[in-house]
Amino acid sequence: MAGEKRVSFRQKNVTVCPVCSNEFHREEMLSGGGRLIAGNLTDELRRNYEVSKKYGRVYPLIYLIVVCPKCLFAAYPKDFQITDTAEKEKLESMSQTRIAAIKKYFGPVSFDNERDLMTGAASFMLAVDCYGFRTKKIAPSFKIAVSSIRAAWLFNDLSAEYPDRPYRKISHFFYRKAYLYYVKVLDLIQSGEEPAEQAGSMGPDTDKNWGYEGILYMTAILSVKVGSKEPDIQKRIENFENCKRYLSRLFGMGKSSKSTPSELLDKTRDLYDRLNEMLEQWYQETGKVLEE
């Protein structure tokens, strides 16, 4: 329609769900035209976008996950096809569970309609669930980590719009899941148990892939934000000492490589200072001495 303020479009080619064989036209975000006006970068490496006068508030994250509108199988585009029979059967057997969960938390939403913040958040909830049943060859833990932090962001956005619904609690759940999986991803990089080259963009947002340095930083920032809530002070101290090692590794890489963005190094320094302040307080409480 002439003059229509469109943010997305439907692909002409049909996408066939590998789980239930449903056919649908995948939705993608249109680029350019002033749809995205980049703002500041948060301490979680999330890019804020200014509200466009023409298009309103646009969330590029909500278009990343392909979701079958019928069985709610969800994955990033490169992982949407399935060749493993056992994997397909498991995802098929869990379809009613996925449908019930979405209905419980979102009501009667449909992925046949244009994406909005609600279906965007739901898509990452579905992706986290579905990747839990995927084979190691597509690096599912990497996808769960980045999908969890994206879910945490979008559910936090939803909680501002619908404060009477349990979205803030769900956001906290995904922050914790992101923290646990980012820690796991660092171990997987060392062990090679999942192929890191299959991780794709680890974002964590859509504007930049921060790569391994971003994984180190996100593990550290989530250690601060989630690990600080650990009730056992000794475990809390242990979490933060690990966090200091991540940041020291990142800062060391930054000093030895001109390719490390100064923006990331600045955030690393700030985070390291915050971490030391909190550790110093906890060491005083336990009668220990903080070692630099």
| SS (HEC) of 160-220 | HHCCCCCHHHHHHHHHHHHHHHHHHHHHHHHHCCCCHHHCCCCCCCCCCCCHHHHHHHHHH
Residue in 71, 1, 60, 73 with CA at minimum distance from that of residue 27: 60
pLDDT over 50 (residue 238): yes
Tell me what pLDDT residue 290 has.
Answer: 55
Tell me what pLDDT residue 1 has.
Answer: 38
Q: Which of 4-13, 112-121, 156-165, 169-178 has the lowest mean pLDDT?
A: 4-13
pLDDT over 80 (residue 155): yes
More confident residue, 10 or 55: 10
The whole-angstrom separation of Cα 33 and Cα 215 is: 32
Average pLDDT over residues 242-267: 74
Q: Which residues pair with 28 in a beta bridge?
A: 9
The whole-angstrom separation of Cα 10 and Cα 101 is: 26
pTM of the model: 0.91
Q: What is the DSSP letter of 84?
A: -
Tell me what pLDDT residue 278 has.
Answer: 86
More confident residue, 17 or 245: 17
